[in-house]
Structure 1
Amino acid sequence: MNGPTDDVELAAHLVREAGVLAQRMRADGLDPQRKTSISDVVTAADHAAERLIVDTLARQRPEDGVLGEEGADREGTSGRRWVIDPVDGTYNFVAGLDWWCSALALVDGDDLVLGAVHHAATGRTWVGGPAAGPSVDGVPLPRLPDRSAAESCLVTYLHPPFYDTEVGAAFGRMVSGVATVRMLGSGTMDAMAIAEGRLHVLCQHSVPPWDRLPGEAIILAAGGTTRTVRAAGVEWYVAGAPTAVAEVAAALSGQRTP
């Protein structure tokens, strides 16, 4: 078998290769296509980067399943599945901004095994999970410090059509108790900033597995927590410093923390 054989090494290799490919294709020019809205777009780079990962896994992990944002969906026989986001933050990617990444996660049944993220703009690669302490470029990350919501920078996104709905009202409760708010355009890159302690808590509703699991694995490995909350008819995902997560979740539900 050629190439990395360890899961952590393989995951890091896959996201680096996907990120490098996407970045090269962006430099050559893109023709973005709209998916569901003007802010939800896809490019040939997304498809090519996903195909690169899927083809490599077919050789390196033929018994594992795959699930990708751009359509890859194969059941395996091992019980394991690789969840792929070839370009997270595609609107930023198309706009020439640098807050985007290539990411994947490995799950075994219901267990989240590891996540890997590559930021092509800086060449940095994060990996982490229950069996692998969190690191960036091989350097271990320190344990994530706890902090309250009132001391935290919340990173989030809400599509404007939701602002004047019950979802928007829940969003308003959520953001009212934090120190400051950012909307940066890549949930997985937001998660990496949280894992490094530069941001503190993230929250967004209706988050698909490829947008959630890679960052979740690394945040959990760094000592953070995650939670899902049902509010205003949708499911919200909250991740980051444990106290801030609990307080944001309570705010979404219209509750007060002790």
Structure 2
Amino acid sequence: MDAEQLDQRLEAAVSIAEAAGPIALNYFRSPLAVDDKSAGGAFDPVTAADREIERQMREQIAARYPEDGIYGEEEGGRAGASGLRWIIDPIDGTRAFMSGMPAWGILLGCVEGERCLAGVVHQPFLGETFTGAGGRAEVRDARGTRALQTRASARLGDALLYTTDPSMFPEPAEQRAYEALVGACRMRRFGGDCYAYCLLALGCIDLVVEGQLKPYDILPLIPIVEGAGGVVSDWEGGAAHAGGRIVAAANPELHAQALGHLRNVSS
């Protein structure tokens, strides 16, 4: 895919994600029925907003790119013939959404093989759209469009770390590794979901450490963080596309220091 084609894909992703924003806002901070997908396991919420957004996004993708595959959190996969597929997380951060906290986003990524070529996070309540493609990352908001750049600080002792929920690390070995890293950082905060990765790309924080992620949770975020100068991997330093345990860092130096605490956790 050449640069012009990639730009076209990115703009299509922005258009599709932003078109879903009014649906999300219609439900956000309003009475909302919540279903539990867990079938008796840990609470896994889904709302009418999730389902309606994904349905519209799938329809728009299929109309624009009928040969592409689609995989969404709520409706699963549809095969395609082009070698490209679209990854949808209609509301990443459903718990935040149902709680009235604007730390959620509409995620869409265009993927070839195991690599996300273009990723978008749209946060309609805040009026922000984060994009990543071709080694660059930007944010679009009321002030216009500007490049994203992660922080340059390479001292782990100065780092601000975000994690969505401590229950992401149920195994004792995970907990020990995670708490060792937290102890080496300046501050930890909980509750970011996808927006924590946006804060990382904005240069507001230094690390995001998570567990139990699905591919649709992380794939659209990778080109945004990397395009801003950050690094995203699993806890062993490998590719992050499959989800699982993830560490995202503002720069390679911090990433290496974080991996020093997180590596070699038995699966």
Tell me if both proteins adopt one fold, taking TM over 0.5 as the criterion.
yes
1:127 to 126, 131, 150: 131
C-alpha deviation, 1:244, in angstroms: 1.7
Identity %: 29
Task: Give the 3 Å change call, closer, same or farther, for CA 159–40 of structure 1 in structure 2.
Answer: farther
| Match in the other structure for 2:240 | none
Task: Give the 3 Å change call, closer, same or farther, for CA 146–39 of structure 1 in structure 2.
Answer: farther
Task: Give the 3 Å change call, closer, same or farther, for CA 254–80 of structure 1 in structure 2.
Answer: closer
Segments of 4+ moved more than 4 angstroms: 161-164
Task: Give the 3 Å change call, closer, same or farther, for CA 253–171 of structure 1 in structure 2.
Answer: same
1:228 to 234, 238, 250: 234
C-alpha deviation, 1:108, in angstroms: 1.1
**Partner letter of residue 185 of structure 2?**
V
Q: TM-score, normalised by structure 1?
A: 0.87
* Root mean square deviation of aligned Cα: 2.4
2:188 to 174, 181, 190: 181
Supply the distance in 1 between the matched residues of 2:248 and 2:76 (Cα, whole angstroms): 26
1:2-81 pair list within 5 angstroms: 6-26=8-28, 29-36=31-38, 39-81=43-85
User: 1:162-205: per-residue Cα shift (whole Å, max 9, x none)?
Assistant: 5672222222122121111111241x111111100011111112
| Match in the other structure for 2:263 | 253
Structure 1: gaps (5+ residues): none
Task: Give the 3 Å change call, closer, same or farther, for CA 227–27 of structure 1 in structure 2.
Answer: closer
My pick for the range that moved more, 72-81 or 19-28, is 19-28
Supply the distance in 2 between the matched residues of 1:35 and 1:150 (Cα, whole angstroms): 39
Matched, 1:193 2:199: yes
Task: Give the 3 Å change call, closer, same or farther, for CA 39–243 of structure 1 in structure 2.
Answer: farther
User: 1:111-160: per-residue Cα shift (whole Å, max 9, x none)?
Assistant: 320110111211111111226x2111152324323323222111113444
Structure 2: gaps (5+ residues): 1-6, 238-242
Q: TM-score, normalised by structure 2?
A: 0.84
C-alpha deviation, 1:18, in angstroms: 1.8
Supply the distance in 2 between the matched residues of 1:235 and 1:117 (Cα, whole angstroms): 20
2:249 to 222, 226, 240: 240
User: 1:64-107: per-residue Cα shift (whole Å, max 9, x none)?
Assistant: 11111112311111111111110011111111111111111111
**Partner letter of residue 138 of structure 2?**
S
**Partner letter of residue 9 of structure 1?**
E
Question: How many equivalent residue pairs?
Answer: 247
**Partner letter of residue 237 of structure 1?**
I
2:207 and 2:249 in contact (8 A); partners too: yes
My pick for the range that moved more, 172-181 or 153-162, is 153-162
